[in-house]
Amino acid sequence: MIAGFNEDSPLICEGIVGDGCGGGRFFLVEDSTLKTFDPNTKEYIILKENIESANRITKDGCILTIKCKDEIIEFDLSTFTQY
């Protein structure tokens, strides 16, 4: 556990250094908001709001996938956009 995060939570994932965008940062959905946390600077950045009923977040390269009850959101970290 780092910075108070439960890395086993399905709503938190860690960016691996060298795997694309956001290496070394944590990505999480909290209070219907997608955020990133940089453990070096201790700063949060809000990436997207109004995410309803999120169940799981995963990261593959620059793509965050958020599985929600009624939809799957894919968020591109290289452009900071949902597609």
Tell me the domain boundaries of the chain. 12-82
- Evaluate if residue 11 carries a pLDDT over 50: yes
Q: What DSSP character marks residue 81? A: E
For the chain, how far is it from start to end, CA to CA, in angstroms?
31
Q: What DSSP character marks residue 49? A: E
- Least trusted range by pLDDT, from 1-15, 27-41, 44-58: 1-15
Rounded Cα gap, residues 61 and 54, in angstroms: 20
Q: Which residues pair with 49 in a beta bridge?
A: 33
- Evaluate if residue 7 carries a pLDDT over 80: no
CATH topology of domain 12-82: Thrombin, subunit H (2.40.10)
CB 51 within 8 A of CB 29: yes
